[in-house]
């Protein structure tokens, strides 16, 4: 117990110390929100990865999908690496960085407002982010309850409050730069932690081959009548597995807290390096989490899904580990939660301040007042998420839990297609953005209240979210072609940034001759 507490104290002390150290870089909006657009590849890549993978992934999704699909759940981690990281950086990274700086936009709603010349579009995007990011933020705490109970026997409420306060201190003090540096440290912990945990769990089952053999002997008539289905290549339900891969991988392309990482990156070289680093990080962390969860059924004699839900799978798998590894797991999950929490509250506060309050509610908002307002809103957002998390935990309010599940799909479904086409296609119209915003928001909210009315495949919030993303990629170009073309001068100005000539070293690009 002394060792566990000591590790926690050192971890928290380091996080807060970095936040205080980075105060000098967060005196203006550009520094507080984007780190002065001077963040290098390693920090950006780890900030992207740690914002991507939270305790929801490690405890909730890994347990749930590992139980449902067996070892085939590893495909989710592979999809996260190839689609959610590698392709996201390759397709969005450079163009996002160039156009966002050209338009002087620090947030996704601000990008929509300036790219499409619409103040109402900016405000509506800000409102969607506010509505759906708060419950998503609250969900980050859920994975901590069982792990802290197992390791420390500490009340869940105390754990949530302490984590929220310490995260708030370093984000409020140091802004994006403190978040990025802490994300890097937390990412290192996550990499070594997941490798150590996988090795220990497999060892407890006699090794990798023995664990695979044990998994092949498990059958579940309710899931599939095929023997050995849980250690098969595609698992018992490939179609629903594909929905999980699409939602958790393609979804990052439209999430404001993820895309905003590209706003802050320093240079072309940093983008290329960051793409590789981020992909490798995802392979290890996401692939490792889902791979670990795939062996959950080996512990079925200790797990009561009906009583404890899927969140009990991973904690049960880890309960027999040595104390030192339990401490590592707790730090790992804390790292995953705090890194994502800091990213979400920074995205929420900056969006609400710059896109909703500035010039609309509060006139003549200077730089100092904007930063002060963002710091205040971080406190508000963290407080709301803590209250939601504690209420959900103590009273098991299913509405909150459902809203958490649809938030990812609603945000990514609403923003992915308008943002992607807005970067690449001059013909994208404001009307198409509105249709995408409304369509995904309505579908995902309806999935909460009238889920039984949906087709069987779309009754799952995960499949519904994946459907909204894919539908948006079709809706935006179709609506754009049938609605009034955007103002030519506005579009030409936005895309003029791509035509600017730059000189680079020959080692970075060969000449034509």
Residue whose C-alpha is closest to residue 407's, from 141, 143, 130, 167: 130
pLDDT above 60 (res 4): yes
Residue whose C-alpha is closest to residue 328's, from 159, 155, 147: 147
What is the DSSP annotation of 8-57?
Answer: HHHHHHHHHHHHHHGGGG-SSHHHHHHGGG-B-HHHHHHHHHHHHS-HII
pLDDT at 283: 94
Residues 186-233: tens digit of each pLDDT: 889 888 888 988 898 888 888 888 988 888 888 777 776 677 788 888
pLDDT above 60 (res 315): yes
Residues 281-312: tens digit of each pLDDT: 999 999 998 999 888 888 887 776 766 567 67
Q: What percent of the chain has pLDDT over 70?
A: 91
Q: How many other CB atoms sit within 10 Å of the CB of residue 123?
A: 16
pLDDT at 511: 55
pLDDT above 60 (res 402): no
Q: How many other CB atoms sit within 10 Å of the CB of residue 438?
A: 13
pLDDT at 5: 76
As a whole number of angstroms, the distance between CA 454 and CA 310 comes to 24
pTM: 0.87
pLDDT at 162: 83
Lowest average pLDDT, out of 74-83, 249-258, 363-372, goes to: 363-372
pLDDT above 70 (res 506): no
As a whole number of angstroms, the distance between CA 483 and CA 45 comes to 38
Lowest average pLDDT, out of 192-206, 243-257, 356-370, goes to: 356-370
As a whole number of angstroms, the distance between CA 405 and CA 397 comes to 13
Residues 428-480: tens digit of each pLDDT: 999 999 999 999 999 998 988 888 899 988 888 888 888 999 999 999 999 99
Kindly provide the residue ranges of all beta strands, DSSP E only, lying in 210-357, ordered along the sequence.
none
Using pLDDT thresholds of 50, 70 and 90, give the confidence band for residue 266. confident
pLDDT above 60 (res 122): yes
More confident residue, 308 or 58: 58
- Percent helix / strand / coil, the chain, rounded to 5: 80, 0, 20
pLDDT at 476: 96
As a whole number of angstroms, the distance between CA 428 and CA 417 comes to 10
pLDDT at 508: 61
Q: Is the dihedral of CA 223, 302, 141, 396 positive or negative?
A: positive
Residue whose C-alpha is closest to residue 498's, from 107, 113, 96: 96
Domains of the chain: 2-393 (1.20.1730.10)
Residue whose C-alpha is closest to residue 135's, from 399, 460, 317: 399
Per DSSP, the three-state class of 513 is coil
pLDDT at 158: 80
Entry field: residues in the chain? 513
Mean predicted confidence (pLDDT) in 237-262: 88
According to the 3-state scheme, what is the secondary structure of 115-160?
HCCCHHHHHHHHHHHHHHHHHHHHHCCHHHHHHHHHHCCCCHHHHH
Per DSSP, the three-state class of 220 is strand
């Amino acid at each position: 117990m002394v060792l566990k507490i000591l590790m926690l104290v050192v971890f928290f002390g380091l996080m807060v110390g970095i936040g205080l150290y980075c105060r000098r870089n967060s005196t203006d909006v550009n520094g507080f929100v984007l780190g002065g657009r001077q963040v290098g590849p390693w920090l950006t890549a780890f900030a992207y990865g740690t914002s991507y993978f939270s305790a929801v992934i490690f405890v909730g999704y890994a347990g749930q999908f590992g139980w449902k699909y067996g070892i085939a759940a590893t495909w989710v981690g592979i999809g996260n690496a190839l689609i959610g990281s590698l392709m996201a950086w390759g397709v969005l990274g450079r163009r996002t960085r160039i156009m966002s700086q050209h338009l002087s936009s620090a947030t996704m709603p601000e990008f929509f407002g300036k790219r499409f010349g619409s103040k109402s579009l900016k405000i509506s995007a800000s409102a969607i982010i506010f509505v759906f990011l708060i419950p998503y933020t609250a969900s980050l705490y859920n994975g901590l309850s069982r792990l802290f109970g197992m390791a420390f026997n500490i009340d869940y409420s105390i754990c949530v409050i302490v984590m929220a306060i310490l995260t708030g201190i370093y984000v409020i003090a140091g802004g994006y730069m403190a978040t990025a540096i802490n994300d890097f440290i937390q990412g290192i912990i996550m990499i070594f932690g997941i490798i150590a945990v996988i090795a220990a769990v497999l060892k407890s089952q006699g090794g990798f081959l023995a664990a695979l053999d044990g998994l092949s002997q498990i059958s579940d008539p309710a899931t599939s009548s095929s023997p050995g289905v849980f250690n098969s290549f595609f698992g018992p339900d490939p179609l629903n597995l594909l929905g999980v891969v699409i939602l958790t991988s393609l979804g990052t392309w439209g999430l404001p807290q993820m895309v905003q990482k590209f706003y802050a990156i320093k240079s072309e070289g940093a983008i290329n390096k960051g793409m590789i680093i981020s992909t490798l990080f995802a392979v290890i962390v996401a692939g490792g989490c889902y791979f670990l969860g795939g062996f959950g059924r080996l512990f079925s004699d200790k797990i009561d899904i009906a009583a404890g839900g899927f969140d009990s799978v991973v904690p049960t798998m880890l309960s027999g580990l040595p104390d030192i590894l339990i401490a590592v797991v707790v730090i790992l999950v804390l790292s995953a939660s705090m890194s994502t929490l800091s990213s979400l509250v920074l995205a929420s506060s900056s969006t609400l301040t710059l896109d909703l309050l500035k010039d609309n509610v509060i006139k003549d908002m200077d730089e100092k007042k904007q930063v002060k307002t963002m710091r205040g809103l971080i406190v508000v957002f963290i407080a709301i998420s803590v209250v939601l998390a504690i209420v959900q935990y103590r009273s098991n309010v299913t509405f909150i839990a459902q809203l958490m599940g649809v938030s990812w799909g609603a945000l990514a479904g609403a923003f992915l297609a308008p943002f992607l086409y807005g970067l690449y296609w001059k013909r994208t119209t404001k009307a198409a953005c509105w249709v995408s915003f409304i369509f995904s928001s309505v579908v995902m909210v309806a999935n909460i209240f009238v889920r039984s009315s949906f087709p069987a495949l779309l009754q799952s919030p995960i499949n519904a979210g994946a459907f909204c993303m894919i539908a948006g990629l079709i809706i935006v170009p179709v609506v754009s072609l049938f609605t009034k073309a955007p103002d030519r001068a506005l579009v030409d100005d936005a895309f003029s940034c791509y035509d600017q000539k730059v000189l680079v070293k020959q080692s970075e690009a060969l000449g034509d001759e």
